[in-house]
Amino acid sequence: MRTRVRGWRWRRNPLRRRSDVVEAWTVLAVAVLLLVGAPLAGALAGLWAHDEARTVATAQRAERHRVRAEVIGEAPEQLPSVGDRHAYLTTVRWTEPGGETRTVSARVPAGARQGDVVDVWFDSRGRSVAPPPNDVAVWQHTVGIGLCVAGGAAAVVLLGHGIAHRVSLRHRMDEWEREWARTGPDWTRRRA
């Protein structure tokens, strides 16, 4: 039966080696970094990402304008399966406030059919663009960056702990070899 003594690396005893003390401090540092450091790094990165995403969204909202337009073009036979939230390019028409009718190619949602009225977005040059990110997209970006940074920080801490543990184990084996070289001859001597 094996008995486990908690905290033996912290107590003074004749069997404790320097590598045991180093390993105990390393485990404590890893615990603090995993429980405090990684979440803090994720939160700080998330705050930074939130500010950046809000700035970009505000700039895009100021630069882009929305137009309610009627779809007059045909939907393609096969819609794209990736990118741009399944939007496709087709012909739309709308009337400007001055009475002028405009017809251009613009991105419309995948479910739009001929005759539907949809929101299309244009930049300052009149090119069809994706809508600016809304608050949900900003928060998704924030949480994604925060989780990635926290996970990356935890991975770095665990990798560092693995390396430190391996080095500590190597030093422990060297210490045992030196001790055995010193005491081994007394144990292996033939008795006459």
Please name the residues in contact with 101: beta carbons below 8 A apart, sequence gap of 6 or more: 93, 94, 95
Angle at 127 between CA 123 and CA 128, to 5 degrees: 90
The DSSP letter of residue 36 is I
Closest CA to 90 of 77, 78, 107: 107
User: In this predicted structure, what is the pLDDT of residue 82?
Assistant: 53
H helix or E strand, kind and range, residue 54: helix 38-63
Q: What is the pLDDT of residues 150-162, one digit of tens each?
A: 999 999 999 999 9
Q: What is the pLDDT of residues 41-82, one digit of tens each?
A: 999 999 999 999 999 999 999 998 888 888 888 776 665 555
Query: Going edge to edge, which strands form the sheet with 128-129?
Result: 101-108, 88-95, 65-71, 117-122, 128-129
User: In this predicted structure, what is the pLDDT of residue 48?
Assistant: 97
Q: What is the pLDDT of residues 84-115, one digit of tens each?
A: 456 778 888 988 888 888 888 888 887 788 88
pTM above 0.75, yes or no: no
Phi and psi at residue 11, to the nearest 5°: -85, 155
Please give the Cα distance from 8 to 158 (Å, whole number).
23
